[in-house]
Amino acid sequence: MFKAAFKGASAPDPGRPEPALAPETAQAAAAGRFIGQLGRQASSLGREAAEVRGVIDDTHKLANSQAQALQALAQQLQEVVRAQAAIDHETQQGLQAVARVGDAVQGVSTEVGGIVDTLRQVSEAAGDITRIALQTRLVAFNASVEAKRAGEAGRGFAVVADAVKDLAAQVESSSKQIAGTVGRLDARIAALAREISRDPAAGGGEGQGGAVHRAIDEVTQGVHRIHAASQASQQLCDGLGGQMGRIEGEMRQTTKALDAALGRTETFLKISEELAEGAAETGVETEDTPYIRAVQQAAAQISQLLEDAVRTGALPLDDLFDERYQPVAGSQPQQHLTKYVPLAERLFPQVQEKLLSLSDKVVFCIAADRNGYIACHNRQYNQPQRPGDVAWNTAHSRNRRIFNDRTGLASGRNTRPFLLQTYRRDMGGGQFIVMKEAAAPITVGGRHWGGLRLAFKF
């Protein structure tokens, strides 16, 4: 907009006194000084805007990362809550099962008590048999004595009496064995009855019943403790879930606010870039003019090289505009190939490398297509990738990659004579620098192919 009025004007030399000028010339000189100052102020403003935008963008990414981590944590917490609900259910089932075991053991205890009573009856019967056998032996002994007194007439009776006496002795011996066996069995079963009895008196006066029921009680108490701990943990998780829900809501609000702030800084940055471009368009020499002029000339050279290649049949025009990016297998970060990569690697370096010597402020000079694809980077960043070394590849193998960020796409899709942008570049290791970038369009056969990007430091 200022180009027509001030074309050809240049900044005055502050070390030389200004000669008297005609009013129109004086106005033009004053306007030139104003535009030069405006360009410097716009540049400074752009630098600060890019720095602020970069910080907000980093914060926005961090907030998004934290929100994702919080969401993942909330999901894991829900898994814990579900697991604890399952534990609670299982402990309830366990308590019911232990109660059933206790009832079953008590039933067995009752049956064992009945067996003890029966054995005692058997023991008493065996005692009765022993007494009867003893009495029978006495009777048989007396009968044998009387038979011997009777002489020959009592001989037959004496034989019977001796047989009865012997039989009674055998019965007595057997009944005593039965009584002994029943006694030992009664002692063992009585001990078993005491172990499985719920009666506190059976536990030796400790008020806890037999050993089996004491063990069941201990299991029951343990399950109760697990159940109580599970419920307490579930309540704690419910509280944490509520707090995390509130934090997640606050994170969403923060992210939304950062989105709005990022949009505002984008507008702020765009205004500063437009001011700097406006100052450069007037023709007044600014600090950006040498870079703008150089990138325009270099873009024209690349355009001519590509047109010559198409004209001589080195590459069909359609292949030059190939946008079917083929992934390079195993590359990290991901690299791609197109049909014009070999041509770009042969033609672009002669132009790109030359601009690196324009100033020690120049960082890189690369040609990008309309999608931000860099077929060939500067030699120091155009190295073959090292398998598995992502950090090294990220820094040194920046060729054959797509940089479709704000700056890259704007430079590749710009069709105006030049584009001036300001942005913050990540140098790795938490280090950032604010840079400017001048870009000019590359056209082939009247078609917009992309743009030449010239990045330089303040």
- pLDDT for 144: 73
- pLDDT for 5: 31
Domain ranges for the chain, please list them. 78-232, 287-458
- pLDDT for 215: 74
Angle value at C-alpha 69, between 429 and 257, nearest 5 degrees: 80
**What is the tens place of the pLDDT at every residue in 54-81?**
667 777 677 777 777 877 877 777 778 7
Give 12's pLDDT tier (boundaries 50, 70, 90).
very low
Give 37's pLDDT tier (boundaries 50, 70, 90).
low
| Consecutive H or E run containing 424 | strand 419-428
- pLDDT for 2: 33
**Cα 152 to chain center, whole Å?**
115
- pLDDT for 276: 62
| Consecutive H or E run containing 275 | helix 211-281
Longest Cα pair distance anywhere in the chain, in angstroms?
187
**What is the tens place of the pLDDT at every residue in 180-189?**
887 777 777 7
Cis peptide before 441, with omega less than 30 degrees from 0?
no
Higher-confidence residue of 385 and 149: namely: 385
Structural class in CATH, domain 287-458:
alpha beta
**What is the tens place of the pLDDT at every residue in 228-265?**
887 787 787 777 777 877 787 777 777 777 777 767 66
- pLDDT for 43: 64
**Cα 256 to chain center, whole Å?**
23
Give 95's pLDDT tier (boundaries 50, 70, 90).
confident
- pLDDT for 48: 65
**What is the tens place of the pLDDT at every residue in 280-333?**
676 678 889 999 999 999 999 999 999 999 999 999 999 999 999 999 999 999
Give 170's pLDDT tier (boundaries 50, 70, 90).
confident
Alpha-carbon span 192 to 144, nearest angstrom: 48
Give the three-class secondary structure for 452. strand
Domains 78-232 and 287-458 share a fold: no
pLDDT of 277 over the 50 cut: yes
Q: How many CA atoms lie within 13 A of 360 on its CB side?
A: 0
pLDDT of 418 over the 50 cut: yes
Contacts of 262 (CB under 8 A, 6+ apart): 53, 56, 57, 60
Contacts of 238 (CB under 8 A, 6+ apart): 81
pTM: 0.55
Give 31's pLDDT tier (boundaries 50, 70, 90).
low
**What is the tens place of the pLDDT at every residue in 265-275?**
667 566 766 76
Give 40's pLDDT tier (boundaries 50, 70, 90).
low
Cα four-point dihedral sign 319, 325, 327, 331: positive
Nearest Cα neighbor of 252 from 74, 54, 52 is: 74
- pLDDT for 97: 80
- pLDDT for 35: 65
Alpha-carbon span 57 to 55, nearest angstrom: 5
- Mean pLDDT rounded to a whole number for the chain: 79
CATH number of the domain at 78-232, out of 1.10.287.950, 3.40.1080.10, 3.30.565.10, 3.30.230.10?
1.10.287.950
Give the three-class secondary structure for 369. strand
pLDDT of 210 over the 80 cut: no
The arithmetic mean of pLDDT across residues 29-36, rounded, is 63
Tokens linked to 194: 């005491």
Contacts of 384 (CB under 8 A, 6+ apart): 397
Nearest Cα neighbor of 212 from 195, 192, 193 is: 195
Q: How many CB atoms lie within 10 A of CB 311?
A: 10
